[in-house]
């Protein structure tokens, strides 16, 4: 059974409908809201599977259905839907992961008074993300992109009575909006240069040969090709949404939202959008690669930003003590890997890692949620501990997620997808620095994940809450198990020996694998690095687990300054507050000052001058104005008096002044120039 592309809109529309139902339902209709959300998401998953089936029938084809939104002059603003393997794989992943997160949420949010609203926002969030995936127009994508921003704002600030949550929500919206303005400018430029915003439109789309050729052949400021400039502006949007350096600061704060929201943001719905965007417009991003003489290729910037982010995120994660914060920085780091893959030319590796990461990161966040739920909202790993025996399913699945994220070889999906990225980075001709950074990040990733697991699950329970923690109900554990299965199995879709996923994404009908030993050297290197990270982590945190609550972290003992700086997230927040924040405040103060004193002052001065002239003219006025006008203004004045007691009636005299002036100037014009 196939899904016609003209029905692809059903995938985002169903969750949107569920959001609408939940929004309009009374507050007490908890089951209705959650039921609608879950049912819609499962239905969307089924439709996505059909869409995948359709897309794989001819993986090279771009199925589109365009339509007119509103008239613009003789033409129209057109939007459209798109179905290709990239869309289909992403839809299947998002709907599957989101379904499990929704089910998990029914347990996690059970006691929350705003349960209904939560499912409304969750559905909106998923709908907006799915809209990004099926859009065949950069404008439609941008619309959904901003709606993702809205939903994340609502969800991060879900516990809005907490000032920290309210602040985090605002920070996320504003930070991503900075990037979005770049995306908007890129979009405007693209529309202006090509006259269209449709990706594929029978040869007239912006990602098709004709448009790309013209974009790459024009030169703009600094000798850049227009396609490079537009690509970099679009990339700004991805930097914001996908938490890339230097706009990564919102992502760790976003954990102020309920944990299922973090799972959704970090795995399926928000940060994935940036990577997807770059993959979607990849023909545009890489259009300048054929030009040898341009000063900069757009993808070079992508690669370096990705590498910096991968290393930065992994480094900071080492010194975080909040279970969700560690995971948040690991997301920053993993997204850096994906950007790196995009930058070095292997967008399929980026999407492969995006898909596997979605599973194991959702798993890890939900696992963390399970721990937090059981330990009465304790999320400081120093205060947890010893949960291995108390929460067996959570522990087992969390460990699988941890090994997938660390890249433990062969069995876990993260190994294969990360391997693909390292392979691509190794082969990049421009520079080897990103490859080096990625290798260092491999060690750090294995290290901090080992630390996280050791502190949380090993040793002894260090607080009373942790002491009393026990495994959660099936609505929370079954999603964990299903995600764990995915975190293992998904890797086998894209091993170098049989890269089925990559071939399908690229639209190739045949799968060309090659024996594993061809790249054995690189693989061995990364296995060794993972082993080093795991070993170091275990040696420091696993062998002698923390006993006392306030025991100093062994690393902090060794290098207190470094760990303190990392724990403080290298001071990015403070830096931005001191620079950008101050700049904005100064701008506001200056604008307000000018308004009150400069423009306002000038006007007051003019008014005083006018008043003076009015006083001088008053005597003349009395005789010059005819009686009729006086009568009218008298009556005005009377009514004014009746209302306002002791006012002098100034505007009336101004009226008179103006009338006099009018007559005088009329005469002047008639006598002077208008012969």
Residues from 438 through 467 that contact other proteins (CB under 8 A): none
Dihedral of CA 394/397/402/408: which sign? positive
Q: How far is the CB of 604 from other proteins (least distance, A)?
A: 9
Q: How far is the CB of 239 from other proteins (least distance, A)?
A: 15
Q: How far is the CB of 359 from other proteins (least distance, A)?
A: 30
| Nearest CA-CA partner of 82 in 201, 237, 230 | 201
| Spatial separation of the C-alpha atoms in residues 23 and 557, rounded to whole Å | 52
Q: How far is the CB of 170 from other proteins (least distance, A)?
A: 5
* Neighbouring residues of 453: CB distance < 8 A, sequence distance ≥ 6: 398, 399, 402
Nearer to other proteins, 174 or 478 (CB): 174
Nearer to other proteins, 524 or 658 (CB): 658
Nearer to other proteins, 516 or 607 (CB): 607
The one segment of 239-247, 322-330, 450-458, 588-596 that binds other proteins by CB under 8 A: 588-596
DSSP letters spanning 216-282:
HH-B-GGG-BHHHHHHHHHHHHHHHHTT-TTSTTHHHHGGGS-HHHHHIIIIIISHHHHHHHHHHTH
Residue 598, classed as helix, strand or coil, is helix
Residues 14-73 close enough to bind other proteins by CB under 8 A: 69-73
610 binds other proteins (CB under 8 A): yes
Dihedral of CA 358/364/367/373: which sign? negative
Q: How far is the CB of 589 from other proteins (least distance, A)?
A: 6
Residues 65-104 close enough to bind other proteins by CB under 8 A: 69-75
| Nearest CA-CA partner of 96 in 456, 389, 358 | 358
Which of 516, 578, 588, 609 binds other proteins (CB under 8 A)? It is 588
* 172 φ/ψ angles, rounded to the nearest 5 degrees: -60, -45
What separation, in Å, do the N-terminal and C-terminal C-alpha atoms of the chain show? 85
Q: How far is the CB of 594 from other proteins (least distance, A)?
A: 7
Q: Which residue has the tokens 């013209």?
A: 214
Dihedral of CA 185/189/191/192: which sign? positive
| Spatial separation of the C-alpha atoms in residues 322 and 89, rounded to whole Å | 33
| Spatial separation of the C-alpha atoms in residues 422 and 406, rounded to whole Å | 14
Residues 613-642 close enough to bind other proteins by CB under 8 A: 636, 639-640
CA 246 to chain centre: 13
Site size with other proteins, rule: CB under 8 A? 72
Nearer to other proteins, 76 or 209 (CB): 76
| Spatial separation of the C-alpha atoms in residues 640 and 652, rounded to whole Å | 10
Nearer to other proteins, 471 or 573 (CB): 573
Q: How far is the CB of 118 from other proteins (least distance, A)?
A: 13
Nearer to other proteins, 511 or 598 (CB): 598
Residues 558-587 close enough to bind other proteins by CB under 8 A: 584-585, 587
Q: How far is the CB of 513 from other proteins (least distance, A)?
A: 43
Residue 70, classed as helix, strand or coil, is strand
Q: Which residue has the tokens 């908890």?
A: 30
Residues 134-193 close enough to bind other proteins by CB under 8 A: 139, 142-144, 146-147, 150, 153, 157, 160-163, 165-167, 169-170, 173-174, 177-178, 181, 184-185, 188-189, 191-192
The one segment of 206-214, 349-357, 400-408, 661-669 that binds other proteins by CB under 8 A: 661-669
Which of 296, 481, 525, 655 binds other proteins (CB under 8 A)? It is 655
Residues 190-229 close enough to bind other proteins by CB under 8 A: 191-192, 195
Q: How far is the CB of 373 from other proteins (least distance, A)?
A: 23
């Amino acid at each position: 059974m196939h899904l016609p592309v003209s029905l692809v809109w059903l995938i985002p529309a169903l969750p949107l409908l569920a959001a609408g139902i939940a929004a309009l339902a009374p507050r007490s209709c908890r089951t209705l809201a959650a039921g609608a959300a879950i049912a819609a998401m499962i239905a969307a998953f089924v439709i996505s599977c059909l869409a995948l089936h359709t897309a794989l029938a001819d993986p090279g084809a771009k199925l589109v259905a365009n339509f007119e939104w509103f008239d613009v002059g003789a033409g129209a603003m057109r939007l459209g839907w798109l179905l290709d393997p990239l869309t289909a794989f992403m839809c299947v992943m998002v709907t599957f992961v989101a379904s499990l997160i929704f089910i998990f949420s029914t347990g996690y949010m059970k006691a929350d008074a705003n349960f209904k609203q939560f499912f409304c926002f969750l559905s909106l969030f998923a709908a907006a993300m799915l809209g990004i995936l099926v859009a065949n127009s950069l404008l439609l994508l941008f619309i959904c992109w901003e709606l993702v921003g809205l939903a994340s704002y609502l969800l991060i600030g879900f516990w809005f009575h907490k000032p920290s949550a309210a602040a985090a929500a605002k920070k996320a919206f504003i930070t991503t909006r900075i990037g979005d303005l770049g995306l908007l400018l890129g979009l405007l430029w693209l529309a202006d240069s090509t006259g269209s915003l449709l990706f594929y439109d029978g040869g007239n789309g912006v990602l098709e040969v004709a448009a790309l050729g013209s974009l790459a052949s024009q030169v703009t400021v600094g000798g850049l090709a227009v396609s490079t400039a537009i690509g970099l502006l679009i990339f700004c949007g991805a930097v914001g949404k996908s938490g890339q350096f230097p706009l990564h600061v919102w992502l760790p704060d976003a954990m102020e939202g309920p944990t299922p929201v973090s799972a959704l943001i970090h795995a399926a719905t928000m940060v994935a959008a940036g990577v997807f965007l770059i993959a979607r417009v990849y023909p545009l991003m890489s259009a300048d690669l054929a030009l040898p003489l341009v000063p900069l290729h757009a993808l070079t910037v992508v690669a370096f930003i990705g590498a910096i982010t991968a290393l930065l995120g992994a480094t900071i994660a080492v010194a975080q003590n909040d279970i969700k914060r560690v995971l948040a920085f690991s997301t920053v780091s993993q997204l850096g890997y994906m950007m790196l893959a995009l930058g070095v030319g292997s967008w399929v590796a980026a999407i492969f890692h995006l898909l596997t990461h979605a599973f194991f990161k959702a798993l890890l966040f939900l696992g963390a949620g399970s721990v937090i739920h059981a330990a009465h909202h304790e999320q400081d790993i120093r205060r947890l501990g010893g949960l291995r025996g108390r929460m067996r399913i959570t522990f087992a699945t969390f460990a699988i997620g941890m090994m997938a994220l660390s890249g433990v070889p062969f069995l876990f999906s993260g190994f294969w997808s990360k391997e693909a990225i390292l392979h691509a980075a190794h082969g990049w001709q421009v520079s080897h620095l990103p490859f080096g950074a990625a290798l260092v990040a491999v060690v750090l990733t294995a290290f901090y994940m080992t630390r996280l697991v050791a502190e949380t699950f090993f040793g002894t329970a260090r607080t009373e809450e942790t002491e009393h923690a026990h495994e959660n109900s099936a609505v929370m554990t079954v999603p964990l198990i299903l995600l764990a299965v995915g975190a293992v199995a998904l890797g086998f879709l894209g091993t170098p020996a049989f890269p089925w996923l990559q071939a399908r994404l690229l639209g190739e009908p045949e799968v060309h694998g090659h024996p594993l030993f061809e790249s054995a050297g690189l693989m061995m290197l990364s296995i060794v690095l993972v082993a080093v990270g795991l070993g170091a982590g275990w040696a420091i945190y696993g062998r002698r687990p923390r006993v006392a609550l306030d025991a100093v972290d062994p690393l902090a003992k060794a290098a207190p300054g470094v760990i303190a700086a990392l724990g403080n997230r290298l001071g990015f927040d403070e830096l931005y507050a001191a620079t950008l924040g101050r700049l904005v405040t100064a701008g506001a103060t200056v604008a307000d000052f000018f308004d009150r004193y400069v423009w306002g002052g000038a006007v007051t001065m003019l008014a005083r001058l006018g008043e003076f002239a009015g006083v001088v003219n008053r005597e003349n006025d009395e005789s010059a104005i005819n009686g009729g006008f006086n009568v009218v203004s008298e009556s005005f004045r009377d009514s004014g008096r009746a209302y306002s007691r002791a006012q002098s009636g100034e505007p009336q005299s101004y009226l008179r002044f103006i009338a006099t002036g009018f007559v005088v100037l009329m005469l002047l014009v008639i006598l002077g120039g208008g012969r």
